[in-house]
Structure 1
Amino acid sequence: MEPLLRIALLFLFFHLSILVNSSPSQHLQIINAERRIDLNSHIIKVYLTLKVENSGTSPTSEVHLAFSPAEAEHLAVVKAAATTGKRKKKTYVPLDVKSAELPEGPNGTKFFSITLLTPLSKGETITLEVLYILTHSLEPFPVEISQSESQLVYFRDSAILLSPYHVKQQTTFIKTPSARVESHTVVDPTKRVGTELKYGPYENHSPYSYSPVLVHFENNNPFAVVEELEREIEISHWGSLQITERYKLVHAGAKHKGVFSRVEYQTRSGASGVSSFKHLLAKLPPRVHSVYYRDEIGNISSSHLRTDFLKSELEFEPRYPLFGGWKSTFLIGYGLPLQDFLFESPDGRRYLNFTFGCPLAETVVDKLILKVVLPEGSKDPAAVIPFQVEQHLETKYSYLDIVGRTVVVLEKRNVVPEHNIPFQVYYNFNPIFMLAEPLMLASVFFLLFAASVAYLHMDISIRK
């Protein structure tokens, strides 16, 4: 047993030594890190600039980002780019970012790997620009407010950048919507000027250092959250797209307490219900037509549509203003010309090119279900999306359908405006299927006509 125990211990020591030696913190260090956190909306945007140096002996082609468990739970987007030049001459080269695993990280820490275009050699440096977006990361406090009160929220983070590398120097800037900051954690040096808090500069922090901070501030911007959005895009080869969008909207800010007074809301619009919202803006494609907007009761006429050659904007009002915790369910539908969105690939396949995401501005979608209804007879559908989504197929039956229409269903959670980018759905289609419904209608009318003629020529009387 003793020799086996020694072999096991040697193997374990060898395995651990490999993990330590392969740790990214042994090869890279961050010379300077600047982080700017934008809290103007309930969608938090963090801009991170990193100057990374390879202090090891071998080239490396990856740089890792670390996120705390709280950040990882609400992380919606992570983007990165390499920069060269300064100011107006600065150029950005997008880099691939994907989820990664590091065994030596603290429990619950989520890692992402940035893949460099060319390996970073010993002694070389590179500047990276990173954008990551967080949702549901502002906590209302107090959790309930009256109609006349402003909305105050908590934001929790770290004054020191969580990183798997040694950080030589770093600074964090936090931008609030207004100058009203009830309280904030002080980690010397800390400076506040107007709507901006500055933490740092801090020097020489070891990997995975963390210094929690709490900022309590006023934020009356609308906390518009769509709990579920179902978008259905129906393709008709007879010349149009029909889009139907079903929304379940909620105000996710501090909950309203007390009685709602519409008189006070109308007469004191600048001081009453400052955190509520009654207008929504949907950014639709150009050349939109046949727009309608309704809820469970029926059509709603309080909407305004503005169109031009580049875009269309639908500004509309729910039946009632939305306060914290209040919900609204409604439906928007519109048509679009087919030739603007349906094309033919070189291999003969048809493909739809449309925009993913939610048309509502500054809105978080907890669950997005996007359905692309293909014409009857379509085969071999394939969706191309620039990020990870869940996919499956369904079948839908409409008027005069025989075998049903294939539906490509795409599902994604935690959707933000940065997800509003084009995607494609490819499929094969035989034009002969376009004649199926006209031939069916013609056959029905012919049979009715033949039956009528036969009936008129029949003698069904019992008298001769």
Structure 2
Amino acid sequence: MDALAGLRLALVFTIVAHLSLLARSSSLAPQELQIINAERRIDLTSHIIKVFLTLKVENTGKSPASEVFLAFPPTQADRLAVVKAQAAVGKRKKKTYLPLDVTPTELPDAPNGTKYFSISLLNPLKTGETVTLEVLYILTHSLEPFPAEISQSESQLVYYRDGAIILSPYHIKQQTTFIKTPSTKVESFTRVEPMNRAGTELKYGPYDDHQPYSFSPIIVHFEINNPFAVVEELVREVEISHWGSLQITEHYKLAHAGARHKGVFSRVEYQSRPSFSGVSSFKHLLARLPPRIHSVYYRDGIGNISSSRLRTDSRKSELEIEPRYPLFGGWKATFVIGYGLPLQDFLFESPDGRRYLNFTFGCPLAETVVDKLTIKVVLPEGSKDPSAVVPFPVDQSLETSYSYLDVVGRTVVVLEKKNVVPEHNSPFQVYYKFNPIFMLAEPLMLVSAFFLCFMSYVAYLHIDLSIRK
């Protein structure tokens, strides 16, 4: 009864939050386009929610259209990590997909704080023409644990809130939504006919002829015991040495973002009944690292942690790490991973004479959300005119750091991004100018220091400091 009452209360709040949408939609709908068919597939098998949206769009206006708008309620817009789109060209086996630019945009008087993204078409869509768009967007922190606290022996239940009808500024002639859950253990779900359930999938629709900004809120209450691994903060330092090495140091603040653990933790029960005790906890993490790594270490505030396994081959390296204790909901852990890489695999020279680092953005831990990621690329001393090229928006800044034998300090390129998911693991480049003469600075300083010490010692041996005549 508690779960049912909570479901009803949550549904009431969702309906109230959307009541102003329909009243203000008529003046905002871009009437020159309509969606002939929309199919949405929502994957809830992980705490990183992936939504695949297929739209067949038709231009019913009198002028060509160069962009298509996607609409998101404010609760989802704040949790969007990735929005990608591509256009389907050709038919059946000859079909190809061309990536499209997607940018946040604003429309005047957006109803109820609706947020928009604009998809730029490759060619303007003429009157009567159609285009098929494939959209992927990823949501984080969108599963609400209910109950919020569970004991060691209980499974984890969560709410997912969305709409049976796709929020859109366009008229939709027909649409269908599929929701995939991790298992068949679904406590309850909102019914919006026509709908049916088969195994781990809920199907809403098909629904015909819905006006712009139509809505029908739904809530799914289901069991999910997959790890809710969230890195609250990750600082990755990439230090370039032109003497042949690349040193990586990663500082992690890890948390379990699922239902909080209540009661006393029993290590005996946890180890004796692994399939029932602490099923929503996790004690292993997999880090996918570049090939040819060396000098790998893994430690926390106490010291080195030996419970890790490293597998390497010519294409990749995998480091399986195990914290000192299993992580339950609300528990946290801090640790450091470090390793070295051959410089020639990642540092190159551009045609204009500049050098550039080609490395991977994002977090190497699999199925992990990073609330705040900071990448610091430490350039060799004497580097000038640094610039970074990243395939998505990030905050960029410059710092100066000092190491052994540094005189003027080393330039540090700082890249920051929030709400990072595995789809952000793509290459980025840092360009800079470097005069090879600076490579002799540290050896000359060492030689000079030894020479001065030697001359001081010789002078000391030959100087008579006695006061006798």
Q: Structure 1 length as normaliser, TM-score?
A: 0.94
SS of match in other structure, 2:439: helix
- Offset, 1:187: 0.1
| CA drift at 1:257 | 0.5
Hey, what does 2:451 align to over in structure 1?
Answer: 446
Distance 1:334 1:430 in 2: 27
Single out whichever of 263-272 and 99-108 deviates more from structure 2. 99-108
Residue-by-residue CA offset, 1:275-331 (whole Å, 9 max, x unaligned): 000000001011111000000000000000011111100001000000000000000
CA displacement 1:334-368 (0-9 Å, x = unmatched):
00010111111111111111000101000000001
Alignment of 1:424-463 (within 5 A): 424-463=429-468
Deviation at 1:25, TM superposition (A): 2.3
CA distance in 2, matches of 1:399, 1:422: 30
Aligned length: 445
Question: Residue 61 of structure 2 is aligned with which of 50, 56, 61?
Answer: 56
Amino acid at match of 2:308: S
2-structure distance, mates of 1:405, 1:234: 10
Tell me how far 1:460 sits from its aligned partner. 2.8
Q: How does 1:73-92 map to 2 (within 5 A)?
A: 73-92=78-97
Tell me the equivalent position of 1:330: 335
Structure-2 separation of matches of 1:256 and 1:408: 40
CA contact under 8 A between 2:228 and 2:258: conserved in structure 1? yes
- Give secondary structure in 2 for the equivalent of 1:57: coil
Please tell me whether the aligned partners of residues 383 and 435 of structure 2 are also in contact (alpha carbons under 8 angstroms): yes
Equivalent residue number for residue 183 of structure 1: 188
Please say if residues 42 and 135 of structure 1, whose CA atoms lie closer than 8 Å, have aligned partners that are also in contact: yes
The residue type paired with residue 379 of structure 1 is K
Following the alignment from structure 1 to structure 2, what is the Cα–Cα distance between the partners of residues 344 and 160? 52
Q: Deviations over 1:252-294 (max 9, x none)?
A: 0000001100111111111110000000000101111100000
- Structure 2: state its 5+ residue gaps: 1-24
1:105, 1:164 within 8 Å by CA — same for their partners in 2? no
Distance 2:204 2:31 in 1: 27
Distance 1:66 1:268, change over 3 A: same
Where does residue 40 of structure 1 map in the other structure? 45
Equivalent AA in structure 2 for residue 30 of structure 1: I
User: What is the one-letter code of the residue matched to 1:211?
Assistant: S
Q: Distance in 2 between matches of 1:101 and 1:462?
A: 88
Alignment of 1:307-322 (within 5 A): 307-322=312-327
Say whether residues 1:208 and 2:226 are aligned partners: no
Q: Distance in 1 between matches of 2:227 and 2:42?
A: 19
TM norm structure 2: 0.93
Shift of the 87–321 alpha-carbon distance from structure 1 to 2, 3 Å rule, reads farther
- The one-letter code matched in structure 2 to 1:272 is S
CA RMSD of aligned residues (A): 1.3
Q: Tell me which amino acid in the other structure corresponds to 2:317.
A: S
Identify which of 361, 386, 394 aligns with 1:389: 394
Mapped to 2, the partners of 1:63 and 1:34 lie a distance apart of: 16
Q: Which of 154, 169, 172 matches 1:167?
A: 172
Q: Give the structure 1 partner of residue 142 of structure 2.
A: 137
The one-letter code matched in structure 1 to 2:180 is K
Question: Could you say what secondary structure the match of 2:113 adopts?
Answer: coil
Where does residue 379 of structure 1 map in the other structure?
Answer: 384
Task: Give the secondary-structure state (helix, strand or coil) at the position aligned to 1:111.
Answer: strand
Query: What is the correspondence of 1:244-255 to structure 2 with a 5 Å cutoff?
Result: 244-255=249-260
Aligned to 1:15: none
* Structure 1 residue runs of 4 or more that deviate by more than 3 Å after TM superposition: 20-24, 85-89, 461-464
SS in structure 1 of the partner of residue 62 of structure 2: coil
Answer yes or no: is the 8 Å Cα contact 1:376–1:406 preserved in 2: yes
Q: Does 1:398 align with 2:417?
A: no
d(CA) in 1 for partners of 2:315, 2:291: 6
SS of residue matched to 2:179: strand
User: What is the CA–CA distance in structure 1 between the aligned matches of 2:110 and 2:321, rounded to whole Å?
Assistant: 48
Partner of 1:241: 246
Query: 126, 129, 151: which one pairs with 2:131?
Result: 126
Cα offset for 1:88? 4.2
CA contact (8 A) 1:190 1:199 kept: yes
Cα distance in structure 2, aligned partners of 1:459 and 1:96:
80
Instruction: Report SS of the residue matched to 2:432.
Output: strand
**Superposed CA offset, 1:69-115 (max 9, x none):** 11101011000000124454331100000011111431210000000
